[in-house]
Structure formats: C-alpha cells, structure tokens
Amino acid sequence: MNHFGIRLCFWLCTLTALMIWAPLAGAVEDQAVDDAVVKALEFLASQQNRNGSWSVTSAGESTATTSLAVMAFLAAGHLPSEGPYGPAIDRAIDYVLAHQQRNGLIVDKSTHGPMYDHGISTLMLAEVAGMTKKENSVRVRQVLENGIRLILKAQQVRKARRESGGWRYQPGSEDSDLSVTGWQLLALRAAKDIGCDVPIERIDLAVEYVKKCANPRGFGYQPGNGSTATLTAAGILCLQVCDHFEDREVVAGMEFLQRQPLRYDQSWFFYGAYYQSVSAYKYGGADWDRTKLLLFPELLSNQGPQGGWIARNGSEQPHGTVYSTSLAVLALTVEYGYLPIYQR
C-alpha cells in the first residue's frame, strides 16, 4: 500500500472510531449526570426538616431554600403526592403556603432581602400549580395570585427613571437591581403562562429595566455597573423568558459568557451555574454544547461523597449545602425539560 493509501486508511479508521465512540461518550456523560442527580436528591431528602422546610446554614429555616429544593425535585421529574419523594414535596409546599403574610409576602424570617425569598417561592408555586392534586391546587393558586399582586405592587413604587421597572430587597424599595429583579420577572412570566392576571405592560417595564443593566459586554448588577458572568447569564434568561431571544443585549451577553467559563472557586458559582445552564440551553446550538462541555464536568467533579455540593467561595458558603445542591441539580437537569419555565 502506498503512502496515500496508508493515510486514507488511517483517516477512515479514525472517522469510524469517532462515529462509534462519540455517541457512547455522550451516553456515558448523560449517565454520569443522571447518577449525580439521583445522589443529590437522596442528599436533599435527608436534609429536610420535620416541618417540611429546608434550612440555610447561617439562619435556619428558609422559604427560599425550601422552594429551590422543591424545584430541584420537580426538575428531576418528581411530582407532588407521587413516587418516593411525593410526601417530601407535599410537606415542603405546605410549609411555603403557610408562610404568606397578610400583604402577600412569602417569607419565614426577617432578612435583609425578603423579595429574594418571595420571588423564588412565587416562581416555585407557579411551576407546581398544575402538578398538585385538586384538593391542594386551590390553595396553591390563591397564595400564588396574592404573591403576584405583591410583586406588581412593589414594581409600582415611585423610583428614579434609571431604577423604574425593577425590584430590590424590600417591597417598598425605591431602587432596583438585576439579581432581585430576575426572580420577580421569572415568577411573573411563569404565572402569566398558567393564566394568572399579569398585564403584559408590566413585564415590558421589567424588560426595560433589565436592558438598562446591559452594557456592550454583558450585564451588571445595576445600570452603569460592569459585567459579571453570573449577572450576564441572569440578564439573558430574563430576556429569553420574555421572548427576546435575538436582542443585541442577548447576543452580546452570550459572546461574553463564552469567554468567561465558570470556575468552582469563583464568587457566586452556583448562582451563575444555574442561570448560565438555563440561558445557554434556551439559546441552543454551539453555545449550549460549549457551556455543557465546560460547566457539567466542573459540577460533577466537585460533588461530595454524600451527594451534596459545598460552596468553596465565601460568597455562597453561608447559604448552606441545600442551596448549592439545589442550584446544581437545576443546572444539570435543564435538558430533562420538566420545569415549564425552562423549556425551549
């Protein structure tokens, strides 16, 4: 066989090997994700309190942490009142429902940022509203609608023009930030999708605020701030769920994220992993392939032996392992497609 024939044979063999092994490698990766999620849910179940809540390491029981854990189970395909985790999910939902205040705010303790807790819990209730059994669905819907009214009322607080349309820590805050705004906007969008009364012009106002936080590279915490990977992913997802997929802010943000892969030891890694996984998956194509290639191994290689994730950076350590584990599961399960708000 001449030199050309040898080279041709080599490349044919290589191509054949890739065709055979690439699907197998993908299957192995998917199996690793499935195994990690199963182990993580076992860990979360073991950490649930008797009253149905989950706790924050530094501050005890938390409606926000409880709601993140519920969404982790839902994202992995588990439903209220069904299967091995059904009772745990039911108890957690009951805990959240029991902690709505008279003004509609869902929070179980005094925090510096109750709108975080409220937005996360309202989003969870909007996602679970169609999954609960009939006897509980009326109560879920009632608390959800009261929570939505609180979000809409907080958006109407008189603010400076650069702050208008968004939310911050308190229902009466006169300024806004992208992080708190993200949870309220996701909750509004999810609630509108199931028929709650959410005027489209209120969503449009929130979108305007999100765009004020954009800059040529990505998104910052507040208008005029520099970009971070975590907030850029949050800004992109906010626009995506409101059907702004091709806006220049989204395109610029995705380009920024591809140059800023997340590292496990960086500030707000789990918060960023959640937002980046969901936003890249919605964007699809090569951006999702690259995000998954870089992010999933970072998550899988740092899972603890008991199934949970422990934050390495001090920014997230006070929030505890339930927080970090729930966000890790939400990031890893985006392709499962069980949570309506995250579907393409």
Tokens of 154: 């907080």
- Residue-wise pLDDT tens digits, 39-64: 999 999 999 999 999 999 767 899 99
Instruction: Report angle CA 28, 30, 33 to the nearest 5 degrees.
Output: 110
pLDDT of 6 higher than 60: no
Give dist(CA 198, CA 127) in Å, integer. Answer: 15
Please, what is the average pLDDT of the chain? 91
Instruction: Summarize pLDDT for 105-142 with one digit per residue, the tens.
Output: 999 876 779 999 999 999 999 999 989 987 789 999 99
Q: Residue 12: is its pLDDT beyond 70?
A: no
What's the CATH fold of domain 33-342? Answer: Glycosyltransferase (1.50.10)
At residue 173, the 3 state secondary structure works out as coil
> Does the pLDDT at position 9 exceed 60?
no
Residues 124-127: contacts with CB under 8 Å, at least 24 apart: 124/67, 124/68, 124/70, 124/71, 124/96, 125/67, 125/93, 125/96, 125/97, 126/187, 126/190, 126/191, 126/193, 126/194, 126/196, 126/341, 127/71, 127/74, 127/190, 127/339, 127/340, 127/341
**Res 1 pLDDT > 90:** no
What does the pLDDT read at residue 4? 42
The whole-number pLDDT of residue 27 equals 53
Does the structure show a pLDDT above 70 at 284? yes
Domain boundaries along the sequence of the chain: 33-342
Predicted confidence at residue 173, as pLDDT, reads 97
Triad 183, 115, 167: Cα angle to 5°:
70
Predicted confidence (pLDDT) per residue in 242-277, tens digit: 999 999 999 999 999 999 889 999 999 999 999 999
Share of the chain above pLDDT 70, in %: 91
- pLDDT digit string (tens) for 191-223? 999 999 999 999 999 999 999 999 999 999 999
Helix, strand, or coil (residue 214): strand
